[in-house]
Amino acid sequence: MALWITDECINCDVCESECPNQAISMGPQIYRIDPDRCTECVGHFDQPQCVQLCPVDCIPVHPQHVESREQLWERYLRLQDGRAATAEPADAAERGAD
């Protein structure tokens, strides 16, 4: 985990739809970030979109889980591979339907 949402979150719902990795979701009380999906927006944007948009500035870097740009880039590539893998059967089905 590199970024996390603190309990200052006001559940404004702005960040969830802006995350390019679908890493943000509603938790039991406040929104949360899935550490296995957050790349700090590496691969998509120059700056973390959630941090840019959050009106109460409650998405800091977790001091005990600082990740290098290389680690974040590798996660981005892994997530892209996952998307490609899940897209293939659908593409094949579409071709078969033609």
Judged by beta carbon, residue 53 or residue 71, the one nearer ligand SF4 is 53
Residue 3 interacts with ligand SF4 (CB under 6 A)?
yes
Would you give the end-to-end CA distance of the chain in angstroms? 43
Residue 77 interacts with ligand SF4 (CB under 6 A)?
no
Site string for ligand SF4, 31-70 (x = CB under 6 A): x-x----xxxx------xxx--xx-x-xx-----------
Q: Which amino acid is at 3?
A: L
Choose which of 1, 4, 9, 62 interacts with ligand SF4 (CB under 6 A): 9
Identify whether the C-beta of residue 50 lies closer than 8 Å to the C-beta of residue 57.
no
CA–CA gap between residue 68 and residue 85 (Å, rounded): 26
